[in-house]
Amino acid sequence: MEKKEVFAVKKSTILFSVLVLLLTFSMGAYAATKYNFTFDGKKQSVDVQIINKKAYVPLDAIAGLYGGKVTYDSKSNTYAVTSNATETTTAKNGLSQTIDNVTIKIDKITQDSDSLKVFVTYTNNSKKEAMTGDSLAKIIANGKQYEYDFDFNFDRYYDKNVAKAASFIEPGVTESSVIFFKPVSTDKINVVLNAGFESYRFNDVKVQK
């Protein structure tokens, strides 16, 4: 009787040890590691799990990039992800986009015989100085790309007394600019603007004549 009990104890001890080893190995294989994660231009350091060579990111991390949240409904067994609806809507409308709390808004685009004018507003809601990028602007129309022309813009800033944002704006500051391009024959254009070394892309923006 005593031999059987000793055998049973040893057997259970061995089984427990194997389970501990398996659990330790499993946790090591699926341990999360901090990675720099970018989603639609927004950056954040998050825990990423690599399982079978695939990256898995927590829903909370993605939702957090847009100021959103994750909720769970136990009745329907459903996870719901919500984001900043205002920012998402305006971005889809092609009028305003925000990256790292710096917003670029296209107020309007007009064109006459002299030039095509892109009216832009920069708003810095971040906690550090932000670079505005008038000189990095470009437009795409009729399958062609038109770069910013310094001389063309320089003459019109003084002749027409129009707004020009500072090269760098402080936190909490909003400034406006007018960026000039040579006239193009089109009703809609794509625009690429820049702030804080990030590109803001606006597609099919209507040109007012």
> Which pLDDT belongs to residue 190?
96
> Which pLDDT belongs to residue 117?
96
Each domain of the chain, given as residue ranges in start order, spans 31-83, 94-206
**Residue bearing tokens 């769970």:** 72
Which phi and psi angles does 175 have, rounded to 5°? -140, 155
Given a cut of 70, the residues of the chain with pLDDT beneath it are 1-32, 37-44, 62-68, 81-94, 159-160
List the strands of the sheet with 102-111, edge to edge.
96-99, 102-111, 116-124, 174-181
Q: CA dist 143 to 1, 188, 190, Å?
A: 90, 12, 10
Instruction: Answer whether 98's CB lies under 8 Å from 87's CB.
Output: yes
Q: Which residues contact 201 (CB under 8 A, 6 or more apart)?
A: 97, 190, 191, 192
> Which pLDDT belongs to residue 43?
64
**148-162 tens-digit pLDDT:** 999 999 988 876 678
d(CA 150, CA 39): 33
Second CATH level (architecture) for the domain 94-206: Sandwich (2.60)
**75-93 tens-digit pLDDT:** 777 777 665 543 433 444 4
Q: Which residues contact 198 (CB under 8 A, 6 or more apart)?
A: 41, 99, 100, 102
CA-based nearest residue to 111, from 12, 1, 209, 2: 209
The whole-model pTM stands at 0.57
Alpha helices in 30-68 (DSSP H): 59-65
